[in-house]
Amino acid sequence: MNLKFPEKESFTSEWIITNRLGGYALGSADLINRRKYHGLLISSSESLLRIHLVSSVEEKIGVDDCFLYLDSNRYGDVTYPDGYSHMVKYRLRPYPAFLYSYSVRRKTILILKEIFMEARRNITFLRYTNVGKAALDYHFRYKFSLRNHHHVNNPGTFDYISKDSDTITNGKVRGGWVRRIDTGHVAFVYALAGEFLGEPVIYRNILYTDEQARGYDALEDLYAPFLHKGTIEPEESIEIVFSAHSLDEPIKRSMTVIGENIRERFEPYPQQKDHPSRVLVVKNRKEFISSPGFQNAVLSEEEYRSLLELLLDEFQTSRDIVAGFPWFSAWGRDTMIALEAFIMRKEKIDFVYAVLNTYGERIENGLLPNIIGEDGRGTNFDTIDASLWYIIRVYECFMKLSNQRQKRLFDFCAEIVLNYIFNDKLPFYFDRDDFLISIRDGIQSALTWMDAKIGGVPVTPRYGKPIEINGLWYNCVIAMSDMAKKLNKIRIVGTNYRMGTEELESYAQKIGENMGKFLGDGVWYDIIEKDRPVEEIRPNFVIACSLPFDFTDEKGLKIAAEVAREKLLTPFGLRSLSPDSLLFCKDYSGNQQSRDRAYHQGTVWTWLLLPYAHLLRKVTRDREMLKDQL
């Protein structure tokens, strides 16, 4: 059956599902792996070391000894086999599901594929359901990668490395394991049906087109040590479990618990009316298959919010937030910015406190870590704003915490403020002439969120006094003063410095007055450098004006909203630089150097829509007008 609905045009959309440990499964809508990160099981340790274990499955489905494939791969300029052409419906939320249909000898084959991950364990759960009327024979080969998720198995890898594998028979459970001896990476596969045979195959020279376009290694070999074959009767399913560890005894019971945990995780979330999984309950399946997808995809606002909460939770670990799948681990700045969404949800307050407490314990010289590298490697403190965002988040949730928790987080905030004022060894300083924060000239660290570098040199160094840094600083001083009053403190005491709360309160007024330096004739300047304004239109003034405490009047806020709408707003977020600038880059593409050059020179950032929305709420009273502005 050929696709006749608009979704075929969006096959390049991607899906992701995580285990809330940092591990994930990721792929494109047509299930052709285009990135080295695409795969069914990428495990994670507590320290966010991610190992790519299972890439994909060769799926050979047949009836009456006539077989076709459901999977597809890129080899050079060829896509083979063409399983994607049999896909008639897919949905990516609340979990990825794909419906295939084709005809063999006048029999209609209809099979549903669903992908899940168990929360808090490195386990992926794959389910194939025969929703047609004919019994289906299957031959599956599971393609193992067994590598760091940032790397590839270059052609020939599995010819020369040592590896080991074996099949598993445990009661009704069948499966196998494979281990890469040089690294110790191991993966397991289990099923409650079929037969596992030791028939090793190496899939050679699979091409990842997205990596090729970016100038990275793009060819990979994958290893499939087993053939798993059997039959799926009509209305029956076969469930496959991929795991980074062996399952507990008895294995059958363990697999049942995994299935129950997954149902408990995903059942509360809504599905679109045409979600492929609904084919299990509809009466007229022919009509369901042929119905246009997008017409039935509408969710209510409440349902959409529910799915957004699910998506938010995908980035959560036990006490941190992943900065971005698949490339990043945890970043202090990104965690603090994203934490706002968790603070909005009452049930997340313990998680919010855990994150703030964890980062508070990591503070050094008043600085939160910028990058917390995978497995703790590459951690650095090259950030000026992460610590300021930390204080804002503590203030936002302060009244939701117990007194004991308030005092503990306040002490962490005190270390930040006191170091920012008194510590002259930091790469920035507190200017006692105007009470603003200034980044020292010549620092090779990119300290703001515009932190791209080429050859170790910042693309947008932003020396001097950036507007959003000082907007944050103004808000932090007020927040600290207010929290000190609530705790009846007259002095703020840190490890090396201390000061009176009255003196801190006096700073707020002086900072607020000097924030006026950033406002020009109908524009907000991005930086004050050597007492001269840098007249670049970047979205940083939106961040500064969106914060809880205003340093400008309504007129200044309206200027901010108007300039943002006219110069920076797009349907997908705010530009990082106005197109009017000679430095503007309209394309984010090419190799890493080309992309880093454009990263903050015009590239659109979605996260900036929330500061923009906060700003609009301040200047727009009418709800309908607010919708129009957005």
How high is the pLDDT of residue 444? 82
pLDDT digits (tens, 9 = 90+) for 285-319: 877 887 766 555 678 899 999 999 999 999 999 89
Distance CA 620, CA 626 (A): 6
Give this prediction's pTM: 0.93
Distance CA 560, CA 554 (A): 10
pLDDT digits (tens, 9 = 90+) for 355-402: 999 999 999 999 999 988 888 888 899 999 999 999 999 999 999 999
513, 517, 521, 522 alpha-carbon torsion, rounded to 10°: -70
How high is the pLDDT of residue 293? 60
Contacts of 177 (CB under 8 A, 6+ apart): 165, 166, 168, 186, 187, 188, 189, 246
pLDDT digits (tens, 9 = 90+) for 159-176: 999 999 999 999 889 999
Position 3 pLDDT exceeds 50:
no
> DSSP string spanning 180-216?
ETTT--EEEEEESSSEEEEEEEEEEEEE-HHHHHTTS
What is the average per-residue pLDDT within 61-83?
92
Only one residue has tokens 């009767």, namely 233
What is the average per-residue pLDDT within 90-115?
90
Structure tokens at 190: 């289990």
How high is the pLDDT of residue 11? 63
**Amino acid, res. 307:** L
How high is the pLDDT of residue 287? 76
What is the average per-residue pLDDT within 39-66?
95
Contacts of 604 (CB under 8 A, 6+ apart): 570, 572, 573, 574, 575, 576
Q: Mean pLDDT, the chain, as a whole number?
A: 93
Contacts of 104 (CB under 8 A, 6+ apart): 62, 63, 64, 66, 68
Structure tokens at 569: 């707003």
Centroid of chain to Cα 595: 19
Q: Are 510 and 435 in contact (CB under 8 A)?
A: yes
Distance CA 31, CA 84 (A): 7
pLDDT digits (tens, 9 = 90+) for 88-100: 999 999 999 999 9
**Amino acid, res. 215:** G
> DSSP string spanning 77-125?
TEEES-GGGGEEEEE-SSS-EEEEEEEETTEEEEEEEEEEE-TTSSEEE
What is the average per-residue pLDDT within 259-280?
91
Please report, rounded to a whole number, the percentage of residues in the chain having pLDDT higher than 90. 83
What H or E segment, with its residue span, contains residue 169? Answer: strand 163-170
Please report, rounded to a whole number, the percentage of residues in the chain having pLDDT higher than 70. 96
Structure tokens at 515: 């924030």
pLDDT digits (tens, 9 = 90+) for 416-468: 999 999 999 999 999 999 999 999 998 888 999 999 999 889 999 899 999 99
Distance CA 332, CA 310 (A): 22
Position 6 pLDDT exceeds 50:
no
How high is the pLDDT of residue 345? 93
Q: Are 279 and 309 in contact (CB under 8 A)?
A: no
Distance CA 411, CA 492 (A): 8
**Amino acid, res. 73:** N
How high is the pLDDT of residue 9? 46
**188-197, 243-252, 474-483: range with lowest mean pLDDT:** 243-252
Position 112 pLDDT exceeds 50:
yes
What is the average per-residue pLDDT within 596-615?
95
Centroid of chain to Cα 173: 35
Contacts of 496 (CB under 8 A, 6+ apart): 418, 419, 422, 423
**Please, where are the H alpha helices in 292-437?**
301-314, 332-343, 349-361, 386-397, 403-422
Q: Are 75 and 63 in contact (CB under 8 A)?
A: no
Q: Are 39 and 49 in contact (CB under 8 A)?
A: no
How high is the pLDDT of residue 506? 95
Distance CA 141, CA 19 (A): 24
What is the average per-residue pLDDT within 577-598?
92
Higher pLDDT, 48 or 3: 48
pLDDT digits (tens, 9 = 90+) for 499-529: 999 999 999 999 999 999 999 999 999 999 9
Q: Are 473 and 479 in contact (CB under 8 A)?
A: no
What is the average per-residue pLDDT within 573-581?
96
Q: Which domains does the chain have, with CATH numbers?
A: 6-297 (2.70.98), 315-629 (1.50.10.10)
Position 5 pLDDT exceeds 50:
no
How high is the pLDDT of residue 64? 83
